[in-house]
């Protein structure tokens, strides 16, 4: 039996979750990317457009397309940032707030169902593993050919 690598397990699991989220989003006439963006925008204070990409782990060009589409659908509006004349804040419209609630409900339901199948100890271990992987990636602790363990 071939051993499954960590990156394969992460990627396959995320693709499965993403498919499920996209199927749910279709029921609301949306996509997972739009739902994720709605959840990433502060519903009260708005969010600077420049901080959305890094917050979501998304490239600026992809995010620009999503924001343009969201603006055309009346989910968001752009307003000048009063603290930075060059910057723009992204705000949710009333319709955007409604769709944000739909997105949040789907995420909470997913979490609820997964938690029904896991103990608190398993969940704690899962989050500890994810945290460790994020630290390894952030610090680029990937062994190159000179530093590979022997």
All structural domains of the chain: 6-138 (1.10.10.10)
**What pLDDT, on a 0 to 100 scale, did the predictor assign at position 142?**
63
pLDDT digits (tens, 9 = 90+) for 2-58: 789 999 999 999 999 999 999 999 998 899 999 999 999 999 999 998 899 888 988
pLDDT digits (tens, 9 = 90+) for 100-143: 999 999 999 999 999 999 999 999 999 999 999 999 888 876 66
Element (H, E) at 23: helix 6-27
Question: What distance in Å separates the CA atoms of residue 150 and residue 137, rounded to the nearest whole number?
Answer: 21
In Å, how far from its chain's centre is CA 120? 23
**What pLDDT, on a 0 to 100 scale, did the predictor assign at position 24?**
93
pLDDT digits (tens, 9 = 90+) for 55-98: 898 888 889 999 999 999 999 999 998 887 788 999 999 999 99
- Residue 11 to residues 4, 53, 56, 65, 133: CA-CA distances in angstroms? 11, 20, 17, 24, 13
pLDDT at 148 over 60: no
pLDDT at 144 over 60: no
Question: What distance in Å separates the CA atoms of residue 11 and residue 8, rounded to the nearest whole number?
Answer: 5
**What pLDDT, on a 0 to 100 scale, did the predictor assign at position 60?**
85
Cα-only R_g, the chain:
19
Question: What distance in Å separates the CA atoms of residue 33 and residue 68, rounded to the nearest whole number?
Answer: 13
């Amino acid at each position: 039996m071939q051993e499954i690598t960590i990156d394969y397990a992460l990627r396959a699991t995320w693709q499965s979750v993403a498919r499920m989220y996209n199927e749910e989003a279709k029921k609301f006439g949306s996509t997972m990317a739009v739902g994720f963006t709605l959840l990433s925008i502060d519903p009260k204070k708005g969010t600077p457009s420049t901080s959305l990409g890094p917050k979501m782990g998304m490239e600026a060009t992809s995010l620009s397309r999503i924001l343009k589409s969201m603006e055309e659908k009346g989910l968001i509006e752009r307003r000048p940032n009063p603290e930075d004349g060059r910057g723009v804040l992204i705000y949710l419209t009333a319709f955007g707030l409604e769709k944000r609630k739909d997105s949040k409900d789907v995420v909470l339901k997913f979490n609820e169902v997964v938690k029904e199948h896991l103990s608190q100890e398993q969940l704690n271990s899962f989050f500890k593993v994810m945290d460790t992987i994020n630290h390894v990636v952030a610090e680029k602790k990937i062994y190159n050919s000179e530093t590979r363990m022997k």
